[in-house]
Structure 1
Amino acid sequence: MLQVTHTPPAVEVGAGAQARPALSVVVPVCNEEGSVHPLVRELVAVLEGIGVTYEIVLVDDGSRDATWEQITRLAAAMPAVIGVSLSRNFGHQRALLAGLQLARGQAVVSMDGDLQHPPELIPSLYEAWRQGYKVVNTQRRDEEVASAFKRFTSRYFYKLFSVLAEVPMAEGNSDFRLLDRTAVDALVNLKAAELFLRGAVQWLGLPATVVPFQPERRIHGSSKYTLRKMLSFAGDAIISFSTKPLRIGIWLGIATSLLAFVEIAYVLARYFRGETVSGWASTVGILSFLFGVLFIILGIIGSYLAWIHQSLQNRPTVIIRDSVNLPRT
């Protein structure tokens, strides 16, 4: 659900604005003033080469630089470029979901705006879609581009997610993909406070294939994903698709009960042998451990309750502050 704070003007544009275009490309951007123009230039060249009607949906996720100004200039020169500016930074996943809600194509490609997702891969994605796949994922092979820390955290996040979640996910899965209209309509109708799109796409269970790619090196700016954002992203992903963390309390409770039983048996055995039992150190240690476990469990429960609370508030996905070339529906 989107909320618009202004009435966009009706527009008549080329590249199939009134009828649904064959292909939409959705790109969330944040502080990418140096990348927007070359990205759109490459996209137009690739899409013209495919020879289908198209639209390019650029979602400005609360940029503080001249990203929006660049988008408006591009939209003025190219009617196939649709731009929306969000009222603040809502986060990559929400900005991407907003773009999917606005996209009208029979097939929709989503990709990042930092030029690390190569536009020249789009024809391969489109061809796979024409073969009948409803979802065409991509898989990063970024040994030469990503840092050792990024590769390590990414590898073990996907391993952990596959263990905890209801749906498996391959290492290197990204938000660079093509979705059939069926998949897009299903995704935008899912109800969640913080939707983890990579997991949601897998959850749909539609016929899918994978196209590997080598990400390009970032030319302008730096990554917007700090360690804090990555941890928050991972937490939202797991909470969205797994209830197993809630069951951790059961197993920890069983384990600590067994340890406590062993400790009690040990103390009683020494007592009946007439030995002096000095239990202050062990008692304090056990209590500290149990309280630590208790607070961990409370934290996990609190995270789920917060997620449920946000979902029940039924807030719009994003607030659109401004738009350009946005067709009326």
Structure 2
Amino acid sequence: MDESTPHLSIVIPLFNAALTLPTLHQELSALEVSGGLELILVNDGSRDETEAVALKLTRESRMPMTFLSLSRNFGEHNAVLAGLRVVSGRYVVTMDDDLQNPPSEALKLLATAKAENRDVVFAIYDRKEHSWWRNAGSWLTNLIADFVVEKPRKLYLSSFRCMSRFVADEVAKSRNPYPYIDGLIFQVTQNAGTVRVRHVERSAGSSGYNLHKLVRLWISMLVNVSILPLRLMTFAGMIVSALGFLAVIEVVLEHMLHKTPTGWSSLMAAVLLLSGTQLLLLGILGEYVGRIYLGISEKPQSVVREKVSSPRTEV
């Protein structure tokens, strides 16, 4: 990296962020980063005026800045990966567009990564100013990650993170159409840490996350970075088979000793239980097969419609 390389790149995926983006840009522009700062904005198919606002800010920006417009909504993780492919900083911070993570807190992440020589540092919060269901969703996401992601146990994961350029470049190599960034990070390194930062109430707009998007994230976590569901399928199959074998022995003994006729209710219960279990396991297996098919059929992870750089970036 030459002397013109900025020390820090900040990547922000945008979705319906027209109300928060001007303030976010203003606060980021005020940050003093030794070695310089660049900003990467990725519009992930917003339906409001986000694109127009972002283009105006990029063309007028006094700091190095790049704006990517995706052709449609691909998802937060896909948008972040698109941004990681154009960074030039020695360290990279990823953050949301809602101002609930004050931009000044990014410097804490950077300072911790440098002081502790970490490949990645995640933000942790004393109190998260989200709705109860978002907090419950975050708790469940981290619970799932404890089992399926090869990370230090009980390490809290957050979308507000700082990573070294080495990790960012390795993660950006992924072309999986259903990426899970934290899973990709821990396939590269386990040298991770945390630092406490502030989390404030949302000042404008509403969260772009909903239950559907959280479920998609959980499925990506389970299927993309782990074969745990397949192992659970095997275990469940063994348990159901063992119970079925015991049930057969019980029915034979009952018939031999008491001449009791086979019960229609118990037979139907067994058939429904086994059929439901088989369909569930086939569904999990189908999810893996479907994603393999989409991968080899080259379904795009994201498509960049337009790339615009600020005058400072183009120099």
Q: Do both share a fold (TM > 0.5)? A: yes
Equivalent of residue 186 in structure 1, options 170, 177, 184: 170
Partner of 1:34: 19
Measured at CA, do residues 126 and 270 of structure 1 come closer, stay the same or move farther in structure 2, by a change above 3 Å? closer
Partner of 2:7: 22
**8 Å Cα contact 1:154-1:171 kept in structure 2:** no
The aligned amino acid for 2:51 is W
What CA distance in whole angstroms lies between the structure 2 residues aligned with 1:274 and 1:127? 77
What CA distance in whole angstroms lies between the structure 1 residues aligned with 2:89 and 2:222? 30
| Range moving further from structure 2, 220-229 or 51-60 | 51-60
Q: 1:191 Cα shift?
A: 4.2
Equivalent of residue 50 in structure 1, options 16, 30, 33: 33
Partner of 2:182: 198
What CA distance in whole angstroms lies between the structure 2 residues aligned with 1:168 and 1:206? 7
What CA distance in whole angstroms lies between the structure 1 residues aligned with 2:92 and 2:77? 16
Partner of 2:302: 318
What CA distance in whole angstroms lies between the structure 1 residues aligned with 2:260 and 2:102? 73
Measured at CA, do residues 113 and 169 of structure 1 come closer, stay the same or move farther in structure 2, by a change above 3 Å? farther
1:185-211 deviations in Å (ceiling 9; x for gaps): 111123423111022222322532211
Spell out the pairing of 1:65-80 with structure 2 (5 A cutoff).
65-79=48-62, 80=64
Report the TM-score when normalising by structure 1. Answer: 0.87
**8 Å Cα contact 1:141-1:172 kept in structure 2:** no
What CA distance in whole angstroms lies between the structure 2 residues aligned with 1:235 and 1:207? 25
| Range moving further from structure 2, 152-161 or 27-36 | 152-161
**8 Å Cα contact 2:78-2:177 kept in structure 1:** no
Measured at CA, do residues 298 and 61 of structure 1 come closer, stay the same or move farther in structure 2, by a change above 3 Å? same
**8 Å Cα contact 1:270-1:276 kept in structure 2:** yes
Gaps of 5+ in 2: none
The aligned amino acid for 2:49 is A
What CA distance in whole angstroms lies between the structure 2 residues aligned with 1:57 and 1:153? 27
1:86-135 deviations in Å (ceiling 9; x for gaps): 11111110001101111111111111111012211122222223322221
1:259-311 deviations in Å (ceiling 9; x for gaps): 22222222222222243223211111001000000000110001111121222
Tell whether 2:160 aligns with 1:176: yes
Q: Equivalent residue of 1:298, what SS?
A: helix
Partner of 2:96: 112
Bigger relative contact order (CA 8 A; separation at least 6): 1
**8 Å Cα contact 1:57-1:82 kept in structure 2:** yes
Partner of 2:81: 97
Partner of 2:256: 272
| Range moving further from structure 2, 239-248 or 187-196 | 187-196
**8 Å Cα contact 1:154-1:172 kept in structure 2:** no
**Count of aligned positions:** 310
What CA distance in whole angstroms lies between the structure 2 residues aligned with 1:311 and 1:195? 11
Equivalent of residue 122 in structure 2, options 121, 137, 162: 137
Report the TM-score when normalising by structure 2. Answer: 0.91
For the aligned residue pairs, the C-alpha RMSD in angstroms reads: 2.2
